[in-house]
Amino acid sequence: MKKMFLFLIVLFSVTNLWSQEKKEDRNFRIPLLGEKAPSFTAESTQGRINFPDDYGREWKVLFSHPQDFTPVCSSEILELANLQHEFDRIKTQLVVISTDALDTHTEWKKALEQINFKDRGSEKIKFPLVSDANLSVAKLYGMIHSQTNTTRDVRGVFIIDPNNVLRAMFFYPITIGRNTDEIIRTLTALQTSDDYHVSTPADWRAGNDVFVPYLNENEAKKMAENKASDVYQLTWFMTYKKLAKGPGEDLKGTDK
């Protein structure tokens, strides 16, 4: 009886440790803004990729998909391909992750490049499609729910700066196509903010006026008294500054 009792205690302890380990393994945390982007090595339609190190001192967008040959994801890939010149202009590298195998990626890419989407003719896909069949990248970036193995929520967009720091992210449900224009807009706003030490108002677009950030009331009053031609105020806590152009267009602001 005593041996049986000891056996049950040991069995309970081992089972409890095993369940705790499994629970810890399921703690897939989304990286926070300001943290270093998690690194990984994976196979892609352009060979093996070491992310983000292979992309050096450029901006990067990691764009994830739950499955190949799906209509919403296919439309997004085609929109990204159509905007390749815009990403090139603002010196940003695109990397697309999908949870299918590499050979499926290759067939999907080939099929997509034959589609006449929005009567624009066929599009060449110049960015890599990375295989994440074992879900390691999806887990690394917190896109797998802790209670399930479904890939339907692997729909994240991660914007990473030249220092490999995560600066912005978006998540969309599987039924809703992502806004590729908003990705471009966010990248442009981040680059403008970094280059000129400014912030951007709601719905800002390249060429719009920006905010001089973090002024207290006295600082704002002194700035108004200087009557600089490129600065104006709606109120002391909303001080605007004019900039000549946007990223990729030889910005010539007065306070770089």
Taking CA 191 as the corner, what is the angle to CA 203 and CA 53, rounded to the nearest 5 degrees?
130
CA distance 62 to 164: 12
Read off the pLDDT band of 26 (50, 70, 90).
low
Select which of 73, 90, 96, 125 is catalytic. 73
Over 60: is that where the pLDDT of 4 sits? no
Query: Model pTM greater than 0.85?
Result: no
What tokens appear for 124 in the block?
Answer: 């060449």
11 catalytic? Reply is no
Residue 148: per-residue pLDDT: 59
> How does pLDDT run across 81-132, given as a tens digit for each residue?
999 999 999 999 999 999 999 999 999 999 999 999 999 999 999 999 999 9
User: With 70 as the cut, is the pLDDT of residue 22 above it?
Assistant: no
pLDDT classification of 11: cutoffs 50, 70, 90: very low
Question: Using CA atoms, how far apart are residues 105 and 102, in angstroms rounded to an integer?
Answer: 5
> Which is more confident, 6 or 152?
152
Task: Return phi, psi of residue 181, to 5°.
Answer: -65, -35
The pLDDT value recorded for residue 249 is 53
Say if residues 181 and 237 touch (Cβ distance below 8 Å): no
Predicted local confidence at residue 253, as pLDDT: 38
Q: List, for residues 191-241, the tens digit of each pLDDT value.
A: 999 999 999 999 999 999 999 987 788 888 888 788 778 889 999 899 999
Q: What is residue 166's predicted lDDT score, i.e. its pLDDT?
A: 98
Please state the length of the chain.
Answer: 256
3-state secondary structure 59-95: EEEEEEECCCCCHHHHHHHHHHHHCHHHHHHCCEEEE
Supply the pLDDT for residue 243.
87
- 136-191 pLDDT, tens digit per residue, is 999 999 888 766 556 766 889 999 999 999 999 999 988 999 999 999 999 999 99
Domains of the chain: 40-179 (3.40.30.10), 197-256 (no CATH)
pLDDT score of 18: 39
Convert the pLDDT of each residue in 39-65 to its tens digit: 999 999 999 999 999 999 999 999 999
